[in-house]
A and B are shown apart, each in its own frame.
Chain A
Amino acid sequence: DGGITQSPKYLFRKEGQNVTLSCEQNLNHDAMYWYRQDPGQGLRLIYYSQIVNDFQKGDIAEGYSVSREKKESFPLTVTSAQKNPTAFYLCASGTLGTGIHEQYFGPGTRLTVT
């Protein structure tokens, strides 16, 4: 059963702690993405990666870090430097090259920091 998995579904942390969100895909996609979703703001791109061991900052990368050691995995760390980390985080993947390539989304992780 191919798809994207994100774990956990809900995550609670105390302010000042780093937390890592998991994203795994078995679709053999080259590209992977992390988005943050806040009410009324749509999806904002945090980081994306088009190849193993390489990634680029999106529009709101400050306070976040990622790694891409394997094609299938793209974990996101929310650091204590992120001033407002409570949000819904979505991971996506897609193919690359010429032509149209839709993105496929995981179920999301809701992070609450108090």
Chain B
Amino acid sequence: AQSVTQLGSHVSVSEGALVLLRCNYSSSVPPYLFWYVQYPNQGLQLLLKYTSAATLVKGINGFEAEFKKSETSFHLTKPSAHMSDAAEYFCAVSANTGNQFYFGTGTSLTVIP
């Protein structure tokens, strides 16, 4: 069975500060991991995905995530927050068979000017 836990339903950072959004996963098989972003009243947009090719994954808008098997984590980071990064972020896991996704409960990011 697969599941993800996102620690912190709300995170606030100052503009220009480091963004760190936490995601821990549980999977009985080697997982595929994803980060999505959602702006108010919109659908989800893929930020990045882990495919086992590299543990450090770079995505769009300057975001990156590092897969750490020993910690079962896939935390999302960005060195310098922009006002436009304010949104809801979802971590998701999928088994390598089938295509059913399991989403975390989301982290709402606020960027303070």
Using a CB–CB distance below 8 Å, which chain A residues touch chain B?
A: 4, 6, 9, 31, 33, 35, 40-43, 45, 48, 50, 88, 90, 92, 94-96, 98-108, 110
Which residue from B36, B43, B49 sits with its C-beta under 8 Å from A107?
Answer: B43
Query: Could you say which residues of chain A place their CB within 8 Å of the CB of B105?
Result: 40-42
Which residue from A43, A98, A102, A110 sits with its C-beta under 8 Å from B41?
Answer: A110
Within 8 A of A (CB), among B43-63: 43-46, 49, 51
Cβ A108 vs Cβ B41 within 8 A: yes
B90 within 8 A of partner (CB): yes
Contact mask for chain B residues 94-113; partner A; CB cutoff 8 A; 1 contact, 0 none = 10110111011110000000
A6's nearest neighbour on chain B, judged by CB, is B43
Which residue from A42, A94, A107 sits with its C-beta under 8 Å from B90?
Answer: A42
Using a CB–CB distance below 8 Å, which chain B residues touch chain A?
A: 9, 32, 34, 36, 41-46, 49, 51, 90, 94, 96-97, 99-101, 103-106
CB distance from B25 to the nearest CB of A (A): 14
Query: Could you say which residues of chain B place their CB within 8 Å of the CB of A43?
Result: 44, 90, 101, 103
- Show 8 residue pairs from A and B whose CB-CB distance is below 8 angstroms, ordered by the A residue: A31-B99, A42-B106, A45-B101, A48-B100, A100-B32, A103-B99, A105-B43, A107-B43
Cβ A96 vs Cβ B99 within 8 A: yes
